[in-house]
Amino acid sequence: MMSKQNNNGAASKYRKNKCIEKNPRLSLRAKALALLSLLVFSSASFALNITAKVDRNSIAMSETLTLTVAIDEQAAFSAPSFDELQQNFDILRQHKSNRYQSMNGKVSSITEWVLTLGPKREGQLIIPSFEYDGEFSDAIPITVSKQGNSSGVKRDIFLESTTDKNTAYVQEQIIYTQKLYSAVNISSFDPEPLQLDKAKVELLAQFDYQTRINGRPYVVVETRYAIYPQHSGKLTLPNLRWSIGVSGGRRNIFDPFNNSSGRIHRLQSDAIDLEIKASPEKSTDWLPAEQLTISQSWSSDPEQMQVGEPITRKIEITAKGLTAAQLPNIDMGEATELQGHIKTYPEQPQSEDEKDNSGITGTRRISTAIIASKAGPLTLPAIEIRWWNTARQQWQSAKLPAMDINVKASTANPSQTQDLEPSVASAVSSDSKELSGSALPEEEQANRNKLSQASSDTASTWIIFSLLSSILVIALALLSAKLWRDNKQLKQQFKLSQVKPSNERQNGASAETVIAEADAQTQFQSLQSYINDQKSQHSNFENYYAHSELQELFKNLEAQLYSAQAEAAQAIDQAALRRAISALEAQLNQEQQSDSALPPLYPH
């Protein structure tokens, strides 16, 4: 029975082989199916894997954790995206490595990304799933507890935050100080910058020094800010996070920046609540300062002022605790009592902010050219600036007293006698008539002829000298123009060789972003960023901006934000802002196009 079954099996196999031999098309199909099956099983066995793991799942706010993301292939130019990770964690350090490993005689390639993470808040946080080439890693839950005060790190490293006052007025300067104390070697530190929506913030200084606490030496890193609140009410200075790299000991000569050794510690400063009061009075110029002074100087003695001769008056306003942008402008031409007596030509005011550890001292310098129109007595009115003394909590005034000046008639223009007193003018006229009507002695007449001839010779000499001077000035001007043109062409050629395409530039706030802002403070910051960006892109930006509508709109917005009614400041009208930006950009583009097609220096 058994032999019969074997015979049947052998016969069946023989028939199948004969069938395949007789049908070669069927044989090729079978081979193709076998090869496809082999590829499927082979690809399944070599499918890409991506994994993510952490060194621990529970940490405190002051601690960090290490995340390792790995794939089993060599990734030279691609990587998983870690953007979603930064919603809950700060990436303090990131390192990529490639390696090979052998297991059970099988060699595999592995690419790893090792990240040091610091939590952004307490509670249950999630490290998201990462995607690479269509494969996904598992998400990882992380528990973040409150920062502990009893850790060993706290004794070695700690933060201290203070302000010089807890109550202030709107636009009054507040000094905010952060101190990092460390009794161990620090390889790096990265403080979170202070940013406030309802206040203007200026970084004053960052410096370090040494101190001792209970006999133990500490290095102190101190950072100071000047804060100018723009709205009354409660102002909260938020918790700021610090990332501190602690050196692990001897520095590696192959790692001069000590990036791979030591640990990173996370600290968080305490929040501070401030009470901001509105200004005591509603006034146009609200100036809360520790000290404010006003002074003046003249280009020449004002007592020697003459009709038609220009003289420059320089007024300087200095305030401790205010920026220069907060200081008022002074226009002598607005005084009604001076109308018809003088003409004024004010220059662009100069502003300067001097920063030190105690705060900001703002200075505004105002220069005005004055030309007297009439001879005789002239009174320049007093100039008074009312300001709020933040130290004494009372109003004070800085004042320039009134000046009485006797303007002299012009010696270079006899016709100016019409502006003198009528009696003086008539006396001069009558004396002239008497001299012309009487007969003079021959000797005196000869002397007068000599004087007249000498005067004529002097006039001729003066005319020749003037002509020669004019020719020399014109020649120098032509030479300067040629040198300037040559230099400009060389600069333009260098600029064209170095400039990148516009789509590769790192731009600040775009024009559309500025126009779309509806909040005055936010629009001011965006517009300031846009102007700074344009300055870096166009060398002649200041020449066009100084006489543009955009500058006027920016100044008006700045004046609103620094006035006593800063809370009611309105953003610039979108239509007006769009028109001003478009006009300025059109001028800049036209100038850039003309510069890029320079004419030859010596045209035929």
Question: Which of 391, 414, 437 lies at the terminal end of a domain, its last residue?
Answer: 414
Is residue 121 a contact partner of residue 144, using CB atoms and an 8 Å limit?
yes
Both 163 and 269 in one domain: the answer is yes
Is 130 inside a domain boundary?
yes
Both 162 and 141 in one domain: the answer is no
Both 348 and 304 in one domain: the answer is yes
Mean pLDDT of 444-461: 53
Both 300 and 384 in one domain: the answer is yes
Question: Cα separation of 238 and 191, whole Å?
Answer: 13
Question: Which of 388, 414, 440 lies at the terminal end of a domain, its last residue?
Answer: 414
Q: Supply φ then ψ for residue 366, to 5 degrees.
A: -120, 115
Is 487 inside a domain boundary?
no
Q: For the chain, what is the domain count?
A: 4
Mean pLDDT lowest among 357-361, 452-456, 465-469, 475-479: 452-456
Is 494 inside a domain boundary?
no
Torsion over CA of 492, 497, 499 and 502, rounded to 10 degrees? 100
> In the structure encoding, which two tokens stand for residue 269, read together?
């400063």
Tens of pLDDT, residue by residue over 498-549, are 444 444 344 456 788 888 888 888 888 888 888 888 888 887 888 888 878 8
pLDDT value, residue 231: 93
pLDDT value, residue 518: 81
Is 429 inside a domain boundary?
no
Q: What mean pLDDT value characterizes the chain?
A: 77
Both 336 and 254 in one domain: the answer is no
Q: Which residues pair with 446 in a beta bridge?
A: none
pLDDT value, residue 502: 40
CATH number assigned to the domain comprising residue 384: 2.60.40
Residues 6+ apart with CB under 8 A from 303: 405, 406
State which residues form the domain around 245: 152-277
Q: Is 11 or 504 the better-scoring residue by pLDDT?
A: 11
Both 229 and 172 in one domain: the answer is yes
Is 264 inside a domain boundary?
yes
Is the pLDDT at 441 greater than 80? The verdict is no
Query: Is the torsion defined by CA of 584, 587, 590, 593 positive or negative?
Result: negative
Is 567 inside a domain boundary?
yes
Both 318 and 346 in one domain: the answer is yes
Both 320 and 265 in one domain: the answer is no
Both 98 and 137 in one domain: the answer is yes
Question: Which of 210, 242, 277 lies at the terminal end of a domain, its last residue?
Answer: 277
pLDDT band at 595 (very low <50, low <70, confident <90, very high): low
pLDDT band at 469 (very low <50, low <70, confident <90, very high): confident
pLDDT value, residue 30: 54
Is 486 inside a domain boundary?
no
Query: Nearest-CA neighbor of 169 among 273, 271, 275?
Result: 275
pLDDT band at 121 (very low <50, low <70, confident <90, very high): confident
pLDDT value, residue 494: 54
Both 311 and 379 in one domain: the answer is yes
Single pTM value for the model: 0.50
Both 301 and 394 in one domain: the answer is yes
- Longest Cα–Cα distance of the chain, Å, equals 177
Both 301 and 410 in one domain: the answer is yes
Is 509 inside a domain boundary?
yes
Mean pLDDT lowest among 106-120, 131-145, 147-161, 521-535: 147-161
pLDDT band at 331 (very low <50, low <70, confident <90, very high): confident
